[in-house]
Structure 1
Amino acid sequence: MAATIQFKPQQKGRWVSGYQLEQLLTEAKDDIYSNKKALTIVVQARANAPINTLIRLINVANQLDEKGVSVTLDFSGKTNKLLGYCETMGFFDCLADGVKFKSPNGVNKVSRVKKIGNSYISINKISGSVHDKTLPKKLAKKITEKIPKITEEQRSELYIQFFSLFSELTRNVCEHSQTELNGLAALQIYKNRAEIVVCDSGIGLLESLKPSLASHNAAYTGYSDVELILEMLTKGISSKEGDQGGNGLCTCFHHAKLTNSDMHIRLADTYYHFFKVAEKPNLVDSLMVSEELLELTGTFISFAVPFNK
């Protein structure tokens, strides 16, 4: 029988967070690959989730599909409010062809084409080989246009920060992911914050860096994964010799500090949570680490950017 996950909040009225989804997947990871290698995720009728969780769900479904796991997303519960939101944002268009989904109308009976609707959402596929240079401008503009009660000078400064962030992260997907699977760039504008997600299914940030420890990054030999992440954020160490960009991570962390964002990095089977990074003089004090998660490839980076710092 297929492993089954109930996609629902832990408490009534709350949303399913990215961290909660990770917990559900971790609990089921042994069953996912046993017997028929199948996973059904039952989306409860009253479930709701932020963009961070939904992009992670797409990423998980696509990677498991590539590994030969039969994945079904079951939205067939009566009056499933999350189904309409997913149709509006283009969720189903981003799923691999092998991933099945159920709606009240039957299997695969929803449109993969994004519906005209909420202008506060944007989800975009990123090719692993072609860098769309127009995408960072489009996403940065969408965020800054929706921020309330700021001056035009502040709006201009934030545009530059968001453009730089998206430019670094989407370029990294093209340059480093080394996979045929599409990456994703997404954002959601909420009343008091924006959530930003960029992810791929490639070789992963640390896997890209570690071969360089035998050459131009020999000074970091013996560092733990956590220590390497902290150095990449603050010092800009890079897998490319002579490049001090740290795969763009250092630049992204700089902008996270400017906006006092929460920053999340998900690699292999570990999740690094950085909370309100501008408020902690020592970066490690803002960090919480979750380990032994469902093994995934690639790099998943997200930011929760408050409009009022």
Structure 2
Amino acid sequence: MEIIFKNKWYTGLEFDLELSNQYTDNHLIELSFHYNTKLRVDSVTRMLSLICQLHKNGQTVSLNFQSTRSPLLNYLHTIEFFKFLPKNGILYSERIAPQLNSLSKGSKKRKSYCAIEPIVCGQEHTEDLDALVTPFHEYFSTNVNEVRKSYIYRVKTILSELINNIHEHSESKLTGYAATQMYNRSLGVITVCDSGIGLLSTIKASIVQNYPQHQDLSDEQILNLMFEKGISRHHDTFRGQGLTSSAKNALVLNASVDLRLKESHIHLEQRKVRDTFKTWNVLNRSSSKIHPLLGTHFTFQFDLQNISL
């Protein structure tokens, strides 16, 4: 079964829609990319999670690039995408496989993007937050002042809280991933994902016992509560503040949030309540046909042109 990605730009959401429109269950899944296919970094981590989940289910994945000169192929190699693929059960087109080791790979820290950082649940934190924040540091580094320093701190806090949330709640043996990238010095993207039991599954299991007043809320209302007030499956207010902290920092940085759950897409956009106060609108953007994907996949999108420095 072949899934074709055309000569266009794919965000994480658009990658999901393309996948869902073409996917049929089969032992062999071939992902084919046209020469000018462009994947935003959140679609890359989503694809990586998908491949690892399919492999765990006993399916074989084939990756087909039209040319060794494909910009996408070189980009994936540069951010170390192939490093995290399963060692077996992955096929490559004959003209591509011999070239993988000869493709260029830059340093871990770059100006506009960084290498993918693995998040291994059940082990000590080894994620390189300094490398992940580098694209934002480069953007905010001109004429550094205290405001810019505070923005870098906020970006690092968002990354730290999301990664810590995976360590605490994922319950998956599959690796999670984090990555960042800057696009045209106007859009910053953070993506953090795992292949675990999922954010809503984690909290819903404890709502009846610990938060009976919320048991009739919709998924969107539960997420809004988690982002604005903080709730924890352990009924511990302090431990439930990770997402709330990320959300507050995202509001300051003029961000929107896309959240891919097992069978749904949730979008959070900012809503101004008063001149000095902003909160979230939570929108369900799920299509009737969406391919299941385990875990929680966060994408924070920062409109840097409208941040006051």
Shorter-chain TM-score range: 0.7 to 0.9
What is the rounded CA distance, in whole Å, between the counterparts of 1:305 and 1:252 in structure 2? 13
Q: Which amino acid counterpart does residue 6 of structure 1 have in structure 2?
A: I
Q: Determine the structure 1 residue equivalent to 2:170.
A: 177
For structure 1, list consecutive stretches of 5 or more residues without a partner in the other structure.
Answer: none
1:196 matched residue in structure 2: 190
Pick aligned residue for 1:162 from 148, 155, 164: 155
What is the CA distance between 1:223 and its match in structure 2?
Answer: 1.3
Report which stretch shifted further, 131-140 or 80-89. 131-140
2:300 equivalent to 1:303 = yes
Query: Per the alignment, in what secondary structure is the counterpart of residue 58 of structure 1?
Result: helix
2:113 alignment partner in structure 1: 121
Query: d(CA) in 1 for partners of 2:76 and 2:219?
Result: 35
SS in 2 for 1:111: helix
| 1:99 to partner: Cα distance | 4.7
Select 1:66's aligned residue among 40, 53, 56. Answer: 56
Contact 1:194–1:305 (8 Å) recurs in 2: yes
1:20 pairs with one of 14, 38, 43? 14
Residue matched to 1:186: 179
Q: Say if 1:282 and 1:187 are closer, same or farther in 2 by CA, change over 3 A.
A: closer
C-alpha root-mean-square deviation of aligned residues, in Å? Answer: 2.4
2:271–2:279 CA contact under 8 A, matched in 1: no
Relative to structure 1, the CA distance from residue 121 to residue 27 in structure 2 (aligned partners, 3 Å threshold; closer, same or farther) is: same
- 1:195-214 superposed matches below 5 A: 195-214=189-208
2:283 equivalent in structure 1? 287
The aligned length equals 297
Aligned mates of 1:63, 1:84 — CA distance in 2: 24
**Match of residue 3, structure 2, among 2, 5, 23:** 5
Give the letter aligned to residue 6 of structure 2: K
Q: Take 2:142 and 2:247, find their aligned partners in 1: how far apart are those partners? A: 25
CA contact (8 A) 2:140 2:152 kept: no
Q: After the TM superposition, which of the residue ranges 141-150 and 54-63 deviates more from structure 2?
A: 141-150
TM-score normalised per structure 2:
0.87
Letter in 2 for 1:228: I
Name the aligned partner's letter for residue 234 of structure 1. E
- What secondary structure is seen at the aligned counterpart in 2 of 1:68? coil
CA–CA distance in structure 2, aligned partners of residues 161 and 258 of structure 1: 9
Q: 2:233 pairs with 239, 248, 253, which one?
A: 239
Aligned to 1:40, which of 2, 7, 30?
Answer: 30
* Counterpart Cα distance in 2 of 1:110 and 1:78: 9
What is the correspondence of 1:132-151 to structure 2 with a 5 Å cutoff? Answer: 132=125, 135-147=128-140, 149=142, 151=144
Give the AA of the match of 1:38. Answer: L
Normalising by structure 1, what TM-score?
A: 0.87
| Pairwise CA distance, 1:101 | 4.6
Give the SS at the match of 1:52. helix
CA offsets per residue over residues 205-246 of structure 1, 9 Å max, x none? 011111111211111111121111111111111112123453
- In structure 2, relative to structure 1, the CA distance for the partners of 1:78 and 1:104 (3 Å cut) is farther
CA shift at 1:150, angstroms? 5.6
Q: What CA distance in whole angstroms lies between the structure 2 residues aligned with 1:82 and 1:209?
A: 37
Which consecutive residues of structure 2, in runs of 5 or more, have no partner in the other structure?
none
3-state SS in 1 of match to 2:233: coil
Is the aligned partner of 1:265 residue 2:259? Answer: yes
Aligned to 2:162, the other structure's residue is in SS state helix
Distance in 2 (CA, whole Å) between partners of 1:93 and 1:6 is 23
Decide whether the 8 Å contact of 2:118 with 2:176 is kept in 1: yes
Q: Kindly state the Cα deviation for residue 98 of structure 1 after the two structures are TM-superposed.
A: 3.2
Letter in 1 for 2:283: L
